[in-house]
C-alpha cells in the first residue's frame, strides 16, 4: 500500500500515550492516517464521519503498537568477531585474543579498510533484521574509525542507510569510544588532535545528531569526556554517554550535568547518579544484549530508577564485540527475564522512552499529530511481545504511513 492516507479498523492499539491505562490500550479501535501522520485514534465506534471517506484496511483484530525504536546501535562496522568468540569459548585468554589482533581494535582495523559502500552493504542485513521486527527509527554511532577519515565515513554510511531502506536514522558521534593504537597511553592527545577536530568537521557536514562517549577505566575518564561535552555544548549538540558499564566512575552524573539525553548500560550506577539523571530528565538506556554477552552479574538499579521516575529505554547495542544482536524483541525478553522489567516497561523501553532517549517528540507513541510509524502484530495482547523467545509475530510495518 503506498497511500499515506488510510483508515485502519478492527484493531487493538497499545498507544503508549496514556499513563493511566496499561499500555494506553484501546480495544475495538481505529486509526486514521492522513499525509503520513496520525489524524485520529480511538474506539472505532467514535470515529468521526469525515474519516469514513478514507480508504479502509481492516486489521482483523490485530494489535498495533508504535513502530519500534532502537536507540543505541553500532550497526555500521567492518568485519565481525566470530573467530574471537570461538577462541574465547575454546579457552583462549584475553591476552591471547588481544595478541591475535582481537577486541575492539580488530573492528577498528576492519572498519578503516572498508569503503563507505562496503560498510553500507555489510550493515543492511542487520538493518533488515531489525526492520523485520517493526523497527522504524534507528540510532547509529561512529566509533570504530578513531581517525578523522573513518569516523566521517562511518557517519556518512549511517546517514545513507535512509536512502537504502525506509527507516529513520539518528546519528551519534562516538570518537571517544577507544584510544587507537597509534595514541596508546596518550588519550588526551587523541582527544585534542583527532576526536575534537573530527567532531567539528562532522558537525559542519551535518553528520551529527548527538555526541556520545565511553566513560570507563579502559576508555575515557570523566574529566576527558567533559572536554568533549564542552565542545558539544558549543556546537549546540545534545550528549549521551556509555556510563557505569563495568565500574562506577560517576559518568551518568557527569552526563546529567550536561543535560544528557541518556546514560547507557548503567549496571554500576548508584542512587546518587540515578537522582542526578532524574533531575536532568536523562533517560536510562539498558542494553541486556551486552549484559548477557559479557556474562555480567550486576544488574542495573531498576528499583532506584523506578523510584526516582527515570524513564527506562532498551536497545540492542548491536556491535560486533559485546552485543552481536539484531533483535529488539529478544532485547525486550532479556530485559524482562534478566532485569525484571514488566512487559509494559519493556514495550515503553523500545517505543516512547526510546524516542525520548533520542530527543524525538514526533514518534514513539500513537497520538494525533505524530508520525504514522506503526507495527501491526499477529497477537492479541501486548505482553506477548516480551514473552516469546526467538519468535517474530510482525504482520506489517508502517513507516510514515506507508506499508
Ligand atoms: N561498550 C561496549 O560494550 C562496546 N562498546 C562500548 O562502548 C564494546 C564494543 C566492542 O567490543 O566492539
Ligand atoms: Fe554501545
Given this model, what pLDDT does residue 99 score? 76
Cα–Cα distance, 189 to 245 (Å, whole number): 25
**Cβ(213) – ligand 1 distance below 6 Å:** no
Residue 137 burial (CB count, 10 A): 24
Instruction: Pick the atom of ligand 1 nearest to 107's CA.
Output: 12
Q: Which cell goes with 232?
A: 558539544
- Which residue's alpha carbon is nearest to atom 9 within ligand 1? 321
Residue 76 Cα distances to 90, 121, 320, 383, angstroms? 28, 10, 10, 31
Residue 152 burial (CB count, 10 A): 19
Given this model, what pLDDT does residue 268 score? 98
**Cβ(349) – ligand 1 distance below 6 Å:** no
How many A from CA of 173 to the centre of ligand 2? 12
- pLDDT per position in the chain (403 positions), as tens? 546 899 999 999 999 998 899 999 999 999 999 999 999 999 999 999 999 899 999 999 999 999 999 999 999 999 999 999 999 999 988 778 877 778 898 999 999 999 999 999 999 999 999 999 999 999 999 999 999 999 999 999 999 999 999 999 999 999 999 999 999 999 999 999 999 999 999 999 999 999 999 999 999 999 999 999 999 999 999 999 999 999 999 999 999 999 999 999 999 999 999 999 999 999 999 999 999 999 999 999 999 999 999 999 999 999 999 999 999 999 999 999 999 999 999 999 999 999 999 999 999 999 999 999 999 999 999 999 999 999 999 999 999 999 9
Contact 114, 81 (CB under 8 A): no
Cα–Cα distance, 306 to 311 (Å, whole number): 8
Q: Ligand 1 test: best mutation among 142, 214, 294, most atoms within 8 Å of CB?
A: 214
Cα–Cα distance, 315 to 294 (Å, whole number): 16
Q: Which cell goes with 61?
A: 483484530
Q: Ligand 1 test: best mutation among 84, 97, 104, most atoms within 8 Å of CB?
A: 104
Select from 251, 246, 205 the least CA-distant residue to 228: 251
Instruction: Pick the atom of ligand 1 nearest to 323's CA.
Output: 3
DSSP bridge pairs for 155 = none
* Residue 154 C-alpha from the chain's centroid: 17
Q: Can you give the pTM of this predicted structure?
A: 0.98
- Which residue's alpha carbon is nearest to atom 3 within ligand 1? 322
Cα–Cα distance, 222 to 205 (Å, whole number): 27
Cα–Cα distance, 218 to 187 (Å, whole number): 11
**Cβ(220) – ligand 1 distance below 6 Å:** no
Residue 269 burial (CB count, 10 A): 27
**Cβ(104) – ligand 1 distance below 6 Å:** yes
- For residue 178, give the ligand nearest its CA: 1
Given this model, what pLDDT does residue 114 score? 98
Residue 121 CB partners (closer than 8 Å, separation 6+):
none
Cα–Cα distance, 70 to 177 (Å, whole number): 19
Helix (H, G, I), strand (E, B) or coil at 211: strand
Amino acid at each position: 500500500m503506498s497511500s499515506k492516507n488510510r483508515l485502519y479498523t478492527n484493531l487493538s492499539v497499545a498507544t503508549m500515550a496514556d499513563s493511566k491505562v496499561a499500555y494506553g490500550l484501546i480495544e475495538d479501535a481505529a486509526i486514521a492516517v492522513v499525509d503520513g501522520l496520525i489524524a485520529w485514534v480511538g474506539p472505532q465506534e467514535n470515529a468521526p464521519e469525515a474519516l469514513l471517506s478514507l480508504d479502509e484496511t481492516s486489521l482483523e483484530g490485530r494489535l498495533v503498537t508504535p513502530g519500534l525504536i532502537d536507540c543505541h546501535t553500532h550497526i555500521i562496522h567492518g568485519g565481525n568477531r566470530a573467530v574471537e568468540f570461538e577462541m574465547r569459548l575454546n579457552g583462549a585468554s584475553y591476552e591471547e585474543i588481544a595478541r591475535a589482533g582481537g577486541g575492539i581494535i580488530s573492528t577498528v582495523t576492519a572498519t578503516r579498510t572498508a569503503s563507505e559502500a562496503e560498510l553500507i552493504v555489510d550493515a543492511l542485513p542487520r538493518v533488515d533484521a531489525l526492520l523485520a521486527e517493526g523497527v522504524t527509527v534507528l540510532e547509529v554511532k561512529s566509533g570504530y574509525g578513531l581517525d578523522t577519515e573513518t569516523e566521517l565515513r562511518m557517519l556518512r554510511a549511517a546517514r545513507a542507510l535512509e536512502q537504502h531502506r525506509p527507516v529513520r536514522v539518528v546519528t551519534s558521534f562516538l570518537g571517544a569510544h577507544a584510544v587507537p593504537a597509534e595514541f596508546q597511553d596518550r588519550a588526551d592527545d587523541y582527544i585534542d588532535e583527532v576526536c575534537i577536530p573530527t567532531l567539528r568537521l562532522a558537525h559542519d557536514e551535518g553528520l551529527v545528531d548527538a555526541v556520545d562517549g565511553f566513560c570507563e577505566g579502559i576508555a575515557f575518564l570523566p574529566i576527558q569526556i567533559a572536554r568533549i561535552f564542552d565542545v558539544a555544548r558549543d556546537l549546540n549538540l545534545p550528549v549521551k554517554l556509555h556510563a557505569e558499564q563495568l565500574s562506577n566512575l560517576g559518568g551518568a552524573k557527569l552526563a546529567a550535568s550536561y543535560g544528557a539525553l541518556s546514560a547507557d548500560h548503567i549496571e554500576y550506577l548508584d542512587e546518587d547518579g540515578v537522582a542526578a539523571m532524574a533531575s536532568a530528565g536523562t533517560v536510562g538506556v539498558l542494553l541486556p544484549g551486552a549484559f548477557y554477552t559479557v556474562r555480567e552479574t550486576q544488574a542495573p538499579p531498576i528499583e532506584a530508577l523506578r523510584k526516582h521516575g527515570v524513564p527506562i529505554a532498551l536497545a540492542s547495542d548491536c556491535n560486533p564485540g559485546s552485543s552481536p544482536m539484531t533483535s529488539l524483541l529478544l532485547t525486550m525478553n532479556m530485559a524482562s527475564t534478566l532485569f525484571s522489567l514488566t512487559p509494559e516497561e519493556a514495550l515503553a523501553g523500545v517505543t516512547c522512552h526510546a524516542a525520548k532517549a533520542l530527543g524525538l517528540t514526533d514518534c514513539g507513541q500513537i497520538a494525533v499529530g505524530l508520525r504514522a510509524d506503526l507495527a501491526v502484530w499477529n497477537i492479541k495482547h501486548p505482553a506477548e511481545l516480551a514473552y516469546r523467545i526467538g519468535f517474530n509475530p510482525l504482520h506489517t510495518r508502517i513507516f510514515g504511513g506507508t506499508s
